[in-house]
Amino acid sequence: MINIHVLSLFPEMFTGVFGTSILKKAQDKEAVSIEVTDFRAYSGNKHNQVDDYPYGGGAGMVLKAEPLFQAVEAITVSTTKPRIILMCPQGQRFTQAKAEELAQEKELIFLCGHYEGYDERVREYLVTDEISIGDFVLTGGELGAMTVIDSVVRLLPGVLGNGESPVQDSFSTGILEHPHYTRPAEFRGMKVPDVLLSGNHAKINLWRREQSLYRTWNRRADLLGNTELTPAEKELIVQWEKEKYN
C-alpha cells in the first residue's frame, strides 16, 4: 500500500475526486490510503493565518514556512523520509515516467499552495520534488495534485481491472497508444479495420504497433527520438515522410 497525504487550504475540493471511480475503488481495495489535511490547523495562531506579506514588499501574500513544516512532521508515517511534492508552475514537467517513479514509493505528501507563492525555505529545506502539470498558472495546487495522484494510483497493482492497461498506455511504451474499436463492427458506414476481426493475433499486434508509430510520428514526432525502431519501422517512417511532402 502507498500512503498519500495532501496538505491544502481547501480540502473539500478533493471530496468528489477521491470519493468516486478508480480512486475510490483503489482505496476500497487498500491499494492506497489517501488523506487530505487543512494545514490551517498548524498555523499556531488563533486566526489560523498561514500567509503573510513578503519581505521587501511586492504584490500578494506568501505562504509561511512554519505551518507546512509542522504539518508534514505531524502526518509523516514512514520510517524513512517520504517524497514531499510541491505543486508549482516552476517545477519539473510531469510525465508518465514520473508517475511510474512515484508509484514505487511508500509515502507521498503533496503541498498545495495558494496566494503569491511559498516561503523559499519550504523549497530549500522541506520538499523533495517540485512538479508542474504544464506551462500555465492555476489558482492553487489542488487541481494539479489531483491530476498527479490519479496518474500514480492507476498504476498500482490491482487497481485497474486489466493488468495490461497501464503497460500499454500512451507514453508508458515511449510512444502514443494505438486506436481502439469495439462493437458494432460497422456503424453508419464506418467500419472496424478488417485485421482486428481476423483473429490473427500476430497481425493484430503488428497493426497496433504500426498505428502507434504512425500516431506518434503524426502528433508527437519528438517522442520517436527515444524509441528503438526496427529497420522495417524506420522504412515506414521514411515512407510517411515522402507521402507527406509529395
Among 66, 116, 150, 210, the active-site one is 116
Q: Is 154 a catalytic residue?
A: yes
pLDDT at 173 over 90: no
Q: At what angle do helices 201-219 and 231-245 cross, to 10 degrees?
A: 50
- Separation CA 145–CA 143 (nearest Å): 5
Higher pLDDT, 244 or 210: 210
Mean pLDDT, rounded, for 149-161: 95
DSSP H or E segment with residue 69: helix 65-75
Active-site position among 51, 82, 129, 154? 154
With cut-offs at 50, 70 and 90, classify the pLDDT of residue 163: low
| Backbone CA torsion sign across 88, 89, 91, 96 | positive
**Angle at CA of residue 142, ends 136 and 146, nearest 5°:** 95
Which domains occur in the chain, in start order?
2-153 (3.40.1280.10), 186-245 (no CATH)
Which of 51, 119, 142, 169 is catalytic? The answer is: 169
35, 38, 40, 89: which one is catalytic? 89
| 38 a catalytic residue | no
Quote the cell numbers at residue 143: 487541481
Whether the pLDDT of residue 200 is over 80: the answer is: yes
pLDDT given at position 168? 55
> Dihedral through CA 180, CA 186, CA 190, CA 195, nearest 10?
50
> Tell me, what's the pLDDT at 59?
84
Residue 27 confidence (pLDDT) above 80: yes
Q: Which amino acid is located at 149 in the chain? A: I
Min mean pLDDT across 71-80, 176-185, 210-219 is at 71-80
Q: Please give the average per-residue pLDDT across 226-232, as a whole number.
A: 94
**209 in catalytic set:** no
pLDDT above 80: residue 159: yes
With b meaning 16 or more CB within 10 Å and e meaning fewer, what string describes 4-19? bbbbbbebebbeebbe
116 catalytically annotated: yes
pLDDT at 111 over 80: yes
